[in-house]
Chain A
């Protein structure tokens, strides 16, 4: 009974924190029409000093290296949590989630497609550092340096484990998103990853309402599904996964021998621990079948991608405006047509419809051409997914799946061998 009252009292205290500002009124002068009001000149904040962007890179590198040390050498979940909290505070709330390696994919893609696009060295470094680190330390960036990952990791309260098949199927989403984001970036149609980032509105305390809704959905999901964005949508994870597979140093669950106790697999909320398995009986696979399947997949992907590109071009601003303008001038009742701001501006400027249609036509062609690569890429990923699911390697102990393991350190904590070793170390230190 006392506990209930205490909750109510606590809640009341918390309400008082914000009540004042919620009920305060917003005061401003009424509009004036008679006085010669002069619009104030819009003040632009000065750009941040160059060295500050390099400071961010140093901090990013430091966070990645510390995270790698904590997961590979120190083997401490607590240290990883501390680094995560720092990354969330610094890269998330202080730097407001920009620029991050996830979004930088689009800058790099745009620069590769358009030689006139300016790509600062700092952005190249932010894009490449976690990838290079993945070659040596696995997904150390995801473990402690990524604010998106840190937020989701800290939100996880009661995890439910997804069936392995569903987990693998959903993870295709990250590759699809990567392909779409690159397609839009190379065609100069905007940065999808930034526009639909679910966590940035929380970091900045502002943003369109739909972003708050998607962010809210991901936050809720994160409370019972381990890192849903990282596993099923993050386009950067789609790049990190293959690199982590070949990383030089890989996370190990136990410091010594595995006793096959199953505790680590139960502790991993990301389904990133492979169980021991007997090797499947030798079956002679027809290699030519795989090759033919692979070529057919690429060809089918290219054809489908070409026409899908044509469809996706409708989301480009030129094509969208051209469709609206065409509709506007070919509809009997112009007033009934609701125009976007871009279309209104186009009509206001009085530019030639024909040039707009020409530009839109060129954009559609670019989309179709780049759609070929998107389609081939998607079918390639699906092909690998199916082939990978057929693999049955022999495994005698529990091992982290290098591609999926985000170096969070939960499995160390639950491993009895690790605990024993840590206890022994503590005793040695005391003595």
Chain B
């Protein structure tokens, strides 16, 4: 009786297994058919809806079209969600059949498992086993080795080709790695962050620890150093005489020091000096394209030198009328040098594009009256290039090719000395009134975008006169007595670090660290998480932002120029 029951159970399990397996394959096949039978990947990709949308854009008030759009939209949704639901349910059904098959098949195997029996003479293999049987294994292992090496070789050949942008990059910069150059104010394209490198985060001017070289400066000026391959450039004045100096980046030896040769009588333009509380003659930082170096001075003159120190041309924009002195740095864009000269006198403020080879003005555009001191920034937004400028009360964008005004936003107040930064699809500017505000703007658009393009505005608790440093979705702002990191998405504070110091130099992000040089003569090195790594006292005021190259930091203090490099252990 017991055996009969077991036999019946075994039969039922077998039949269940067969039925479940058949249905599993049937439903799986059905699912594959449903999946591949023209379901749109997403409703928004529907060609029918796209066609209607285009029609609606042309005739937005067409009621019949709106009705038809709604109907098609409903049909497409019904199709999409219906099939999604069907696939999901079908997958569960498949799974249930699979489980049923497994359970019944296991049960059947258990009831019908046969006990294997020892075969006579099975031990005869014993004497011959290893030596002959391992030969195919050896041959197979060797073949696998050869096959894998061949695949690796093939991938290596495919991987040894240069990437297209790498091939292009090498031509204009003559072998130098462009991203390692610090060729203008706030580095390459004003991005204020250096390529990854192992930069010194500690040094000592007394013990000379990590000081590769130091040289005293024969000139004064607030401009920052720039470095290109093995050459370092600074500008400065010596008894009102304007100079461009070139040093060997490796040793600090002076290669040349060339005075600016002027022909106009306007050379005697008076500028409020550093001692008088002004920006002095040499606040703008020069810029280089690797072939020439272009320097702009508070006398409103742009000069081009070749790398041997010979003056090529000079462009005079007229007598300056700026209370503290012009301090916007020249910006290199393709074959043009962009100069922003905002002045106090009515009708004098201009933005110029000068041909970098000839020194001729390619275009000039009138700007709102009133002096400002920020440097323009060229951004690439959705393939459209824009020159972003700041003045009171506007942030104005221009087309680099024509100088045509693209858009403007009214959001700045006070004496605008801050420059814009760009990252994560937003422009960040600071309004340095009695209390500084940080503002995020969306680029693009036309006309006055004040109402539409201000993403967020945050009030700071003290003043700033520099430019924020940006890295992906983070913005670092160096305020008086406070360093703040904000999130680019909503402007919320990520962290802040309190100091009792003031920052004229803009912060820089390099080698995953933050470098801030203070007027008090200190250099603060912080992690990107806001933790202090070290503070180095340079013993004299610092107004210039440091320059970074590979593993070296070039720092200009009031009277000296330093090269800081981590010593090899």
List residues of A whose CB falls within 8 A of some B CB.
3, 6-8, 10-11, 14-15, 17-18, 21-22, 25-26, 28, 30-31, 33, 154-155, 157, 163-166, 168-169, 172, 176, 202, 205-206, 209, 212, 216, 219, 259-263, 266-267, 275-281, 300-301, 303-313, 319, 322-323, 326-327, 329-330, 347-355, 357-358, 360-362, 364, 371, 375, 378-379, 382-383, 385-386, 388-396, 414, 416, 419
Contacts and interface: CB of A to CB of B under 8 A. Distances in A.
A279 B93 contact: no
A308 B155 contact: yes
A3 B115 CA distance: 27
B414 interface: no
A352 B100 CA distance: 57
Given A169-B144, A382-B148, A307 B15 contact: no
B443 A378 contact: no
Interface in B63-113: 66, 70, 73-74, 77-78, 81-82, 85-86, 88-93, 95-98, 100, 102, 105-106
Interface stretch (B163-171, B357-365, B430-438): B163-171
B425 A351 contact: yes
B159 A209 contact: no
What range describes how many residues of B lie at the interface?
35 or more
Given A154-B102, A279-B130, A261 B155 contact: no
Interface string B99-137: 010100110000000011011001101111111011011
A162 to B, nearest CB: 11
Contacts of A330: 164
A22 B90 contact: yes
A393 B384 CA distance: 72
Interface in B1-52: 11-12, 15-16, 18-20, 22-23, 27-28, 35
Contact of B93 (A22, A306, A312): A22
Given A11-B22, A169-B140, A323-B163, A362 B196 contact: yes
A263 B118 contact: yes
Contacts of B535: none
Interface of B: 11-12, 15-16, 18-20, 22-23, 27-28, 35, 66, 70, 73-74, 77-78, 81-82, 85-86, 88-93, 95-98, 100, 102, 105-106, 115-116, 118-119, 122-123, 125-131, 133-134, 136-145, 148-149, 152-153, 155-160, 163-166, 169, 178-179, 188-189, 191, 195-196, 379-384, 422-425, 443-444
15 contacts: A17-B93, A26-B85, A33-B70, A157-B105, A206-B88, A263-B118, A277-B126, A277-B131, A278-B128, A310-B156, A352-B380, A354-B179, A383-B145, A386-B138, A396-B126
Contacts of B380: 350-353
B141 A169 contact: yes
A401 to B, nearest CB: 12
A7 B158 contact: no
Nearest to B130: A277
Provide the main secondary structure of the chain A interface. Answer: helix
B74 A154 contact: no
A309 B205 CA distance: 43
B133 A164 contact: yes
A25 B20 CA distance: 26
Contacts of A7: 15, 18-19
Contacts of A17: 93, 96
B136 A165 contact: yes
In the A-B complex, the 4 residue pairs with the smallest Cβ-Cβ separation, listed nearest first, are A311-B159, A277-B130, A165-B140, A350-B381
A100 to B, nearest CB: 19
Nearest to A175: B148
B156 A212 contact: no
Contact of A361 (B73, B179, B383, B422): B179
A276 B126 contact: yes
